[in-house]
Amino acid sequence: MPKILDGASIATAIKQEVGEEVKSLAARGVRPGLAAVLVGHVPASEIYVRNKVRACAELGLYSDLITPPDTVTTDEMLTLVAGLNARDDVDGILIQLPLPHQVDAKALLDAIEPVKDVDGFHPVNEGRLLAGRPALAPCTPAGIIEILKRSGIPIAGQHAVVVGRSDIVGKPVAILLLHQNATVTICHSKTRDLPAVTRQADILVAAIGRAGFITPEMVKPGATLIDVGMNRIDTREEFDRFFKGNEKREAAFAKRGSVVMGDIDPKAFEISGAYTPVPGGVGLLTIAMLMANTARAAKLRRGL
């Protein structure tokens, strides 16, 4: 039987560690602070940011939720970011994406002080990450490394294949795996004979954003599968393709009219050695690592 890599328990452990770190910093007169900027009213983003603010409260971090209207301009947002950069009570700045079409997201992310860039998206942090220097790493890739390490999955000497080359997940997780002494291959839409490459993977990271893209024929038996995808299935045809006969999923589909699944066909999990489920896997680590990055930013800013 393959091992299920439980994102919930690992996220809980990381949050407990952050909570202890926050208490230690409080004893030195420091309270880490996170400013979350949520533009307009996007229901999914509102839920996500609300969970982040709740996590701050649970762990003793200060949080400030800022909600500009969806008519805000790039210049107004740049002024807002400049103000947050100058605030000593703010150690981390989070700008929830996506932003309205009239706002230059790249300009805003570049305007955040690198030491307050808790999402790890600033070019300075990207460069430091590549060079193996102290940096705030993107939360999801950092969470993937924590899942592997805390689950006892060997990384050094393993062949890791990453499917997807985004700046948010694919590229940074490849760099982090390389720093852990894995041999890393990055695949993308132009990769020739993709199944031949993925079948070489001891660790296969799927971050391409297509439901069930990785099929059993693309997986080496016994491999560790890390599923970063979060795709909504809302048609009966798609549901039956992946979950026909799955009573638990059937009940969820009947109740909500949709289910969430990753980039890996669930049938591939059956031949793996270990895998992260969706939901219940990588996604739960993102907020935990954001809290960890905020505490780390508080220390880096003060030279602690």
The tokens describing 124, both together, are: 């300075």
The tokens describing 271, both together, are: 């031949």
β-pairing, 159-163 vs 183-187, is parallel
d(CA 245, CA 2): 20
236-271 b/e (C-beta count within 10 Å ≥ 16 → b):
eebbeebbeeeeebeebbeeeeebbbbbbbbebbeb
Name the strand (E) or helix (H) holding 39: none
* SS3 of 157-195: CCEEEEECCCCCCHHHHHHHHHHCCCEEEEECCCCCCHH
Q: Is 91 a catalytic residue?
A: no
Cβ neighbourhood burial of 38 (10 Å; 0-12, 13-18, 19+)? buried
Q: Is 52 a catalytic residue?
A: yes
d(CA 22, CA 246): 43
Among 91, 96, 158, 171, which one carries the catalytic annotation? 96
d(CA 28, CA 304): 10
Among 52, 171, 202, 265, which one carries the catalytic annotation? 52
Q: Is 96 a catalytic residue?
A: yes
Among 91, 116, 117, 119, which one carries the catalytic annotation? 119
With H, G, I as helix, E, B as strand and everything else as coil, classify residue 119: coil
Q: Which residues are catalytic?
A: 52, 96, 119
